Structure 1
């Protein structure tokens, strides 16, 4: 039943908040959209439970021509701050934090913070 409701949810999110959440994305429970506007979640994205997502964030494929599409996985408890872009077949591991306006192109280990363009781990 939940799968049938996803196209309606997608439409509602697009109209009300300018969000685009593909119905094929796999979203966990208790995901918190803080200031939910301009969030884009692509078809193959996996977002686990208790993730916090701020405004103007993008989760999607790398878009390299001729290569198969690959999408990111966001593990439980991660926090993605506003303006961040998480691109390609990477994993943001448990309780990782992605800083505002960062571009994440590689895996982020658990319990770490990554910031910058491209995003790098900080101590």
Structure 2
């Protein structure tokens, strides 16, 4: 800000989330809606989010790739080989500056192919 005498104030602290994303009121919606395992030990993960947005996928805390939603808000991601262990996939929607603007509310869980047990509350 600059006053009438020409004095300029110091810069303000950065705002997080950025202006235009307004916190939870305007938060983006990204969801994992379907997981399909294939005979070759890969899987296709599908979901929905805001149209024409970037989706980043994670297996636990490890980034596994990204997808872009279509004009209808649908996205799809093909995994690499998943054999030998269980996996818990989540998705994040990011804006053009790389800020996370939405996260999936749950996980897509794929077992190891052995006798896995899923226990929940």
Normalised-by-shorter TM-score class = under 0.3
**Larger Rg belongs to:** 2
Name the structure with the higher strand share: 2
Name the structure with the higher helix share: 1
Name the TM-score, length of structure 2 as normaliser.
Answer: 0.24
